[in-house]
Structures are given as C-alpha cells and as structure tokens.
Structure 1
Amino acid sequence: MAEMKVQVNLTMRAVGNQISNQAYSVSSKFKIPEPKAFNGNRDAKELESFIFDMG
C-alpha cells in the first residue's frame, strides 16, 4: 500500500510538471493583440468594435 502511494505521488508530480510546462509554452507562443483605446466618439459602430475587441 505504501509503495502504491509513492507511485501515485510520483505520477501526480509528473503530470503537474507537464501541465505547468505546457501552460507556459502555450502562452509564450501566442501574442494577444491589445484592443484600440476608445477615443470618445459617440459612434455606435466604434463602440461595438471596442466592446468586441475586449471579448
């Protein structure tokens, strides 16, 4: 039973390391564009574009 706990702990550590490494490598590959600043115009299309770029 103790050996099984050791095996489970080692497996969990290995999986945890893989997930954290994958999250770092994925985030470093993609460049997320920043939305353009809203310039204060009361144009509905401009506001819609700003809100769409935020999401």
Structure 2
Amino acid sequence: MLKPFSRYLKAVEENLPSEHHPLLRKSLYLAILDWYTDGVDPREAASRISNAVGG
C-alpha cells in the first residue's frame, strides 16, 4: 500500500506532461514535499510546475 506522500507524488505526476516527470524525483522533490505539508492540491502543484517549466 502506498503511503500518503507517495499517493500525493503520484497524483502530481498524473497531472503533468510526461516530459516533466523526471523533475519530480530530482530537483523538485523538496518543493513538492513542502507543498504536500502545506496542503497544496496535487493539481495545483502540477500547475505550478508546468507554469514554471513552460514559461
């Protein structure tokens, strides 16, 4: 069974284009963990990543 943060990370990943997936486990991991603890919705987290990467 997945743990809560694992489910959150998976939900963020599902809302991102596949080319952004490597960022989740590398450079953005701590930011995503911070958003998780702050209660940011996974779709909002994915939107933040897409906006930052996409310009």
- TM-score range relative to shorter protein: under 0.3
> Which has the larger helix fraction?
2
> What TM-score do you get using the length of structure 1 for normalisation?
0.27
Which is higher, the Rg of structure 1 or of structure 2?
Answer: 1
Q: Which has the higher contact order (CA 8 A, sep 6+)?
A: 2
TM, length-normalised to structure 2: 0.27
